[in-house]
Amino acid sequence: MRKRVLRTKLCEMLGIEYPILSAGMGPNLLGEETGSPVDLVVAVSEAGGCGVLGASGYTVDEMREKIREIRQRTDKPFGVDILIPKKVTQFGDPGGGEMPLSEFLKALPREHRDFVRKTKEDLGLPEVEVMIKPDLTTFLPDKAIEVCLEEKVPLFCSGLGNPGFMVEAAHEAGVKVLAITGNTKNARRMAESGVDLLVAQGHEAGGHTGRIGTMVLAPSCIDAAFPIPVLAAGGIGDGRGVAAALAMGCSGVWVGTRFLATKEAGGLDSVKQNIVNAADEDTVVGTMFSGKTLRAIYSRYHDAWYESGLESLPFPLQALIASDLIAAFNEAKMYDYVGGFAGQVSALIKEIKPAGEVLMDMVDEAADILTRKLPESVTVE
C-alpha cells in the first residue's frame, strides 16, 4: 500500500513526517518491567513521529546519558520533557548522594506519617528501601535545562511551568521550546513569552491534568495563542482523535496513554494491562499521588487515602508518601492498589501493540477520515 501523507506546519518545524508526538511521560512511581522510555522515543521517532523523553524521574546525569543513547539509536528528531516546579529548594542538591526516602518522611506531618505506617501494618506490607536522588531533573530544573541546551536536543518540552525565561537561550542553541497548558489564560501567557509550540492538554488526559476538556480547550488556545501552533492532548488514542484535532485547527497531537500501552513503553505489565482493561469510568482525578490533580486508573490506594480523611501535602511532598506506599504495594504484588497513571482514552485501547503500529494506524485512519471516509451518516456538499 502507498504510504499515507499527513502533514502540517508542525512537520516542517520539527523535520518529522507525521504531526504526532508521544507525550513526555516520567518513569513515574511505578517502575519498569518491559520496554523503557528510550525504546519508546526511538520507536516513535523512527516511525515518523516525534518521540519525547519524559525525564522528570531521572537525575541530570541520567538524562544526559539517555539523550546520548537516543542519538546513538536514531538520527531522527526527538524531544525531552522535564517538569519546572515553582519551588524546589527543599530537595535540590547537584552533589548527588542518594538519601533513603524514610529520612524525608520524618519531616512530614505526624498524621501523614501515621497514615503510611498504619497502611503498611494493616496490609502487612514489606519494608522497601526507596532511595531519593537529590539531583533529579525535577529538583534541579536549571541544571537540567543547561544540559538539554548543551546537548542541543531538537525539542525542549516543559511539562509544568512557563519555560518563557529560557526561550532566548534555547533559540541561540538551536533548540525549539514546547509548553503545556491546561487553560486559556496560561496559553496566552506562554505564547507571549515566545515559546515555539503549545500543547493544550484537556481534562481527559492521564497524569497531571486540569479542569477543561480537550474539545473546548484546544480551539480556545488556538485563538489565544495565534499564530503559535497548538497541539491537542488528552483523550487522543486513534485516528478519529487525530482527525478531530486537525479539524479543530490543531497542528498536531501529543499522545500519552495510547503510547504507554505499547511494547516499547517503560512500565509495569500490570499497568499496561489495566489500561487495556479499563472502561471509560475507570480513571479518576485526585491529589493523593503528587499533591496536584492527577488522573490515574482507580485503585484501592484511592480508597485508602480518602478513608484517612487527610488533606494532600503540596507538590512534590505528597509524592514521597505515594512513592513509599506504591513501592511496597508493588513488592507485595498487591496490584489492586496500583492502578497506574492513565487517561480516559484507556477505554478505547484494546491491545498492547508496537508503538510504530499505533502511530501508523492513527495516520491511516486520520488520513482516511480527512480525505473521504466520514461516517456514512454525514452528508456534506
Ligand X SMILES: Cc1cc2nc3c(=O)[nH]c(=O)nc-3n(C[C@H](O)[C@H](O)[C@H](O)COP(=O)(O)O)c2cc1C
Exposed, middle or buried: residue 212 (CB in 10 Å: 0-12, 13-18, 19+)? buried
Nearer to ligand X, 50 or 205 (CB): 205
CB of 258 to ligand X, least distance (A): 6
Nearer to ligand X, 342 or 363 (CB): 342
Grid coordinates belonging to 252:
498536531
CA distance between the termini of the chain: 29
CB of 281 to ligand X, least distance (A): 15
CB of 30 to ligand X, least distance (A): 8
SS3 (DSSP) at 79: strand
Contact 317, 291 (CB under 8 A): yes
Q: Which residues of 105-136 are buried (b: 16+ CB within 10 A; e: fewer)?
A: beebeeebbebbeebbeeeebeebebebbbbb
Q: How many CA atoms lie within 13 A of 272 on its CB side?
A: 21
Angle ∠(96,314,339) on CA atoms, nearest 5: 85
Nearer to ligand X, 254 or 337 (CB): 254
- The four Cα atoms 313, 314, 316, 318 give a dihedral, to 10 degrees, of 10
CB of 117 to ligand X, least distance (A): 28
- Amino acid identity of residue 59, one-letter, is T
CB of 113 to ligand X, least distance (A): 27
Nearer to ligand X, 113 or 240 (CB): 240
Nearer to ligand X, 81 or 324 (CB): 81
CB of 46 to ligand X, least distance (A): 20
Grid coordinates belonging to 59:
537525575
CB of 241 to ligand X, least distance (A): 9
CB of 136 to ligand X, least distance (A): 11
Nearer to ligand X, 59 or 120 (CB): 59
Nearer to ligand X, 172 or 281 (CB): 281
Q: How far apart are CA 180 and CA 256, in angstroms?
A: 13
Site residues for ligand X per CB under 6 A: 23-26, 28, 54, 56, 81, 83, 159, 180, 201, 204-207, 233-236, 254-258, 260, 341-343, 345
Nearer to ligand X, 141 or 206 (CB): 206
Contact 21, 252 (CB under 8 A): yes
Q: Which residues of 150-159 are buried (b: 16+ CB within 10 A; e: fewer)?
A: ebebbbbbbb
Q: How far apart are CA 68 and CA 173, in angstroms?
A: 17
Neighbours of 377 (CB within 10 A): 5
